[in-house]
Amino acid sequence: MSADPSPRTAAENPSRGAASAPRTVPSPPSRGAGASASAVEVRRSTRRRRTVSAYREGDRTVVLIPARMSEAEERRWVSVMLEKLAAQESKRMLGDAELAARAEWLSGQYLDGRARPASVRWVTNQNTRWGSCTPAEGSIRLSHRLQGMPEYVVDYVLLHELAHLLVPGHGRRFWQLLEAYPRTERARGYLEGVVAAGRLPYLSGAGDDQP
């Protein structure tokens, strides 16, 4: 996977030498359905002028960046590439069976295993909401538009719907249930950004749920 960040740095004329020594930095473990990367190895190269690439290598993620990038740019692009890789893996790995297994794990991790859905599946008829839950039936449905988004976003929506099996509305008790999930605000911000960009129509009051 590669991207063109067009880094804005002070002008310099790096020699066309070999890549600099790689540097390994810690990374939060991936919680997707497949194997997870436990660390990120950043490799700088004077030959690489504009593009950034990333790929999995065993138990780590390798990110290739231009040598002239600043540390701030490095951090930003490492984050971007990790999310892109996670989005690809989420889309490729999570079918209905994996989604149900993911729901069981999230319930055990953040809701003490109290939320036990009867069914969890992707649907293609939810274009104005990210997910929905019918507590009486114990069913959870996630919009197919979430497929390809970062795994922490899918996890948040799934956990949101799991919480509705315990608390139907969006009152204080409901949000207290989600406080244990460390990426709630980040995921909500991501989804709000998608809505603002017009990628998903937002109709106030349409449907029974808006995470």
Q: Which parts of the chain sit beneath pLDDT 70?
A: 1-38, 58-59, 89-93, 198-211
Question: In which residue are the tokens 């069913």 written?
Answer: 139
pTM: 0.55
Q: What is the pLDDT of residues 182-199, one digit of tens each?
A: 999 989 988 888 777 764
The confidence score (pLDDT) of residue 166 equals 95
The confidence score (pLDDT) of residue 86 equals 76
Residues 54 and 27: beta-carbon distance below 8 Å: no
- The pair phi, psi for residue 133, each rounded to 5°, is -140, 135
